[in-house]
């Protein structure tokens, strides 16, 4: 029994170390930006604000709102490889299935509407670009036109600019990703 527990503990440590190494090595390069998404309608915004922790309230810093917008989008949507790319976050939320571009539009609309009354110095844009792992561009290794680029969100606030990806958060709980120059 002791031997099984030690092996399980070692396996957990190896998996966690591997996960940390991969997450640490991820970075995104922005190739361009998509148009700003439309605002959430009052019903969708109210449903999202109901889940906003009451302790956050109006004093929530932009970083907490970023984490909330990414997590809430991942909770509400399910990843599906689709050809169509809706840009209206209300239609995306009604459909409940999305791919990376659609996830990014919902995150951007949610974050911008939550942060706007609190501060004017923070914003989120939908970007498209390439994903890198320790400096190696991963896109040449994945075929097909669907994987030519990847959509994610670029957040800018008083702490700088950084990326977040609700698709990666949905499956791997990756919250913040470095941007490449």
- For 17-159, where are the E strands, in sequence order? 26-33, 78-79, 97-98, 123-133, 136-137, 150-157
133 or 18, which is more confident:
133
Question: In order of start, what are the domains of the chain with their CATH numbers?
Answer: 2-179 (3.10.620)
The SS3 call for residue 115 is helix
Q: What is the pLDDT of residues 2-20, one digit of tens each?
A: 888 888 888 887 877 776 7
Neighbouring C-alpha atoms within 13 Å toward the C-beta of 24: 6
Query: What is the predicted pLDDT for the residue at 110?
Result: 95
CA–CA separation, 167 vs 99, rounded Å? 8
**What average pLDDT does range 139-143 have in this prediction?**
83
Query: What is the predicted pLDDT for the residue at 149?
Result: 84
Query: What is the predicted pLDDT for the residue at 164?
Result: 94
CA–CA separation, 85 vs 25, rounded Å? 29
Of 148, 175, 135, the residue nearest 27 (C-alpha): 135
Q: What is the largest CA-CA distance in the chain?
A: 58
Q: What is the pLDDT of residues 58-102, one digit of tens each?
A: 567 888 899 999 999 999 999 888 777 788 999 999 998 898 899
Q: What is the pLDDT of residues 91-129, one digit of tens each?
A: 999 998 898 899 999 999 999 999 988 777 889 999 999
């Amino acid at each position: 029994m002791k031997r099984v527990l030690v092996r399980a503990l070692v396996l957990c440590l190896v998996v966690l170390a591997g996960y940390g190494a991969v997450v640490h090595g991820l970075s995104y390069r922005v190739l361009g930006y998509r148009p700003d998404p439309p605002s959430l309608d009052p019903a969708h915004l109210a449903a999202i604000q109901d889940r906003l922790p009451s302790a956050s309230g109006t004093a929530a810093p932009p970083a907490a709102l970023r984490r909330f917008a990414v997590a809430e989008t991942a909770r509400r949507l399910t990843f599906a490889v689709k050809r169509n790319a809706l840009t209206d976050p209300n239609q995306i939320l009604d459909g409940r299935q999305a791919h990376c571009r659609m996830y990014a539009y919902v995150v951007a609309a949610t974050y911008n509407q939550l942060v706007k009354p609190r501060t004017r110095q923070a914003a989120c844009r939908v970007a498209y670009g390439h994903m890198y792992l320790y400096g190696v561009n991963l896109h040449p290794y994945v075929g097909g036109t669907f994987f030519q680029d990847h959509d994610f969100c670029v957040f800018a606030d008083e702490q700088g600019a950084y990326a977040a990806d609700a698709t990666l958060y949905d499956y791997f709980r990756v919250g913040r990703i470095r941007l490449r120059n």
